[in-house]
Amino acid sequence: MINIAIDGPAGAGKSTVAKAVAKELGIIYLDTGAMYRATAYTAIKNGIDVSDEVGVGEMLKTLTMDVVYEDGAQQIIVNGFNTTPYLREHYMSKAASDISALPCVRYKLVDIQRELAKTYDLVLDGRDIGTFVLPDANCKIFLVASAEERAKRRVEENRLKGQESDFDIVLKDIKQRDYNDSHREVAPLKKADDAVELDTTTMTIPEVVEAVISLVKEKIK
Ligand code: DC
């Protein structure tokens, strides 16, 4: 199996790059952040606090999660319900980051990710793929960019979706999420020792995609 791990903080361009790499190689892209978002969405829908370890643990006992693809787009089905349309709401980012700090959530989702990686050739993006989920991945990339640049990209992304957003608020959210994701106890956001770090602050997306594809091809040739 080919498994390519693309990790890094929020807004570093992981999903755009991972999608392009998967397309180029003709393999599947797995957005692991969406799995944490879907878990957070389900907790909220059931009136469970995303930081309540006992409540979330109870919920997980019967929770089923299926990752399926419709016209190439990933859909996360939780307990038979397609959560995908609800996962990109602004408040879901913080909720996903909070719920992802609970060990019971990480273990459940990491099991699913490892099973998928055993079955399919994948490009996975996340925070802990290279360090924890798949330490033997064929190729590991760690994307970084300054918090200011990532906030600028997020504001522009929102603008293209027709949503106006305040740069200072977006920047504060990004810094808070960086802190949460890299200070949790289990599998925090961290570069794997054998990952190639790429700072995308001054690069355009096509430049990043090109650089990552050539790194991947070099590693898996
Ligand atoms: O990549 P994203 O913004 O969709 O991820 C949402 C949150 O999920 C992120 O703040 C931390 C968590 N996450 C994680 O802990 N591990 C992953 N492999 C992917 C995401």
Look up the CATH number of the domain holding residue 93: 3.40.50.300
Looking at residues 114-123, what average pLDDT do you find?
97
Q: Please give the structure tokens belonging to residue 155.
A: 């504001």
Residues 100 and 177 placed together within one structural domain of the fold: no
149 lines ligand 1 (CB under 6 A): no
Residues 90 and 15 placed together within one structural domain of the fold: no
Contact 5, 139 (CB under 8 A): yes
Domain boundary among 120, 147, 176: 120
Residues 126 and 206 placed together within one structural domain of the fold: yes
Q: In which domain, by residue range, is 94 found?
A: 33-120
55-64 tens-digit pLDDT: 999 999 999 9
131 lines ligand 1 (CB under 6 A): no
Residue 220 has pLDDT above 90, yes or no: no
**pLDDT, position 63:** 98
Beta strand pairing call for 3-7 and 139-144: parallel
Q: Please give the structure tokens belonging to residue 156.
A: 């522009």
Residues 215 and 127 placed together within one structural domain of the fold: yes
| Helix-helix angle 167-183:147-160, to 10 degrees | 120
Query: What strands lie across the sheet with 65-70, from one edge to the other?
Result: 65-70, 73-78, 81-82
**C-alpha Rg value of the chain to the nearest Å:** 17
Looking at residues 7-25, what average pLDDT do you find?
93
Residues 111 and 154 placed together within one structural domain of the fold: no
Residues 136 and 108 placed together within one structural domain of the fold: no
- Ligand 1 centroid distance, CA of 159 (Å): 22
Give the SS3 label for residue 21: helix
Number of separate domains in the chain = 2
Contact 100, 184 (CB under 8 A): yes
**pLDDT, position 198:** 96
Helices (H), the chain: 14-25, 32-45, 53-62, 90-100, 103-119, 147-160, 167-183, 205-220
- Ligand 1 centroid distance, CA of 81 (Å): 21
**Beta carbons within 8 Å of 21's beta carbon, 6+ residues apart:** 4, 6, 29, 123, 209, 212, 213, 216
127 lines ligand 1 (CB under 6 A): yes
Residues 114 and 131 placed together within one structural domain of the fold: no
pTM for this entry:
0.95
188-207 tens-digit pLDDT: 999 999 999 999 999 988 99
**pLDDT, position 89:** 87
Domain boundary among 120, 147, 163: 120
Confidence band (pLDDT; 50, 70, 90) for 161? confident
**pLDDT, position 116:** 97
Q: Which residues of 129-158 are buried (b: 16+ CB within 10 A; e: fewer)?
A: bbbbbbeebebbbbbbbebebbbbbbbeee
**pLDDT, position 130:** 98
Q: In which residue are the tokens 């802190």 written?
A: 179
173 lines ligand 1 (CB under 6 A): no
Nearest CA to ligand 1 atom 20: 33
Confidence band (pLDDT; 50, 70, 90) for 221? confident
Residues 137 and 197 placed together within one structural domain of the fold: yes
Residue 134 has pLDDT above 90, yes or no: yes
Instruction: Quote the CA–CA distance of 61 and 64 in Å, as a whole number.
Output: 9
**pLDDT, position 205:** 85
Looking at residues 73-79, what average pLDDT do you find?
97
Residue 90 has pLDDT above 90, yes or no: no
DSSP string, 191-203: --TTPEEEE-TT-
Residues 129 and 155 placed together within one structural domain of the fold: yes
Residues 126 and 216 placed together within one structural domain of the fold: yes
Domain boundary among 120, 142, 171: 120
Q: Average pLDDT, whole number, for the chain?
A: 95
Residues 89 and 158 placed together within one structural domain of the fold: no
Residues 219 and 131 placed together within one structural domain of the fold: yes
**pLDDT, position 169:** 95
**pLDDT, position 159:** 94
